[in-house]
Structure 1
Amino acid sequence: MERYKNLLAQKEQLEKLIAEARKKEAAAELERVREAVAEFGFSPEDVFGKRRRDAGVPVAPKYRNPETGETWSGRGRAPRWLKDQDLERFRITK
């Protein structure tokens, strides 16, 4: 039991050392990145890439549940009311 407690204490001490080392190294790397951005005039798009144009843009619904009025755009997981159903029955026509 004594060995177990000793190992737990060592683990706790190592975790603290790891956290401190990570914090210190992360700060140094962030400073290095900031210097490179300033030196070369990088834009956010240069660093992080371009955002998809449709990210966050709502999509018009394609399917409607006639009983509840719920809609689904056709993106992502299909709602339960469409499970094992013919999608064409629920398609919204203009």
Structure 2
Amino acid sequence: MATLQELMAQRAALDQQIAETKDRERGEAIAKVRALMSEFGLTPADLSLRSGRTATKAPSKVAAKYRNKATGETWSGRGLQPKWLKAALAGGAKLSDFAV
């Protein structure tokens, strides 16, 4: 069984190998990308997103379509019906009664 010092030495050697391999492969990838860009006449601007969308676009809030007049609670009509609306509908109310 290996001692702690031997294992730590092996770990340090592996960490060094990992760092060297990562640097070498990264350099090779950059060289390939540069060669392809040169071959096809691409610029860094050509590599940007063309859709005009941003990756951090926040979801928009949907306007309420139904409102509980007694409590002021609302529902957009999307997703599951809230409990207050289910209970009212089970009691005989119509969905149109809660339209905003």
Q: Calculate the TM-score normalised by the size of structure 1.
A: 0.49
> Who wins on radius of gyration, i.e. which is larger?
2
Taking structure 2 as the reference length, what is the TM-score of the superposition? 0.47
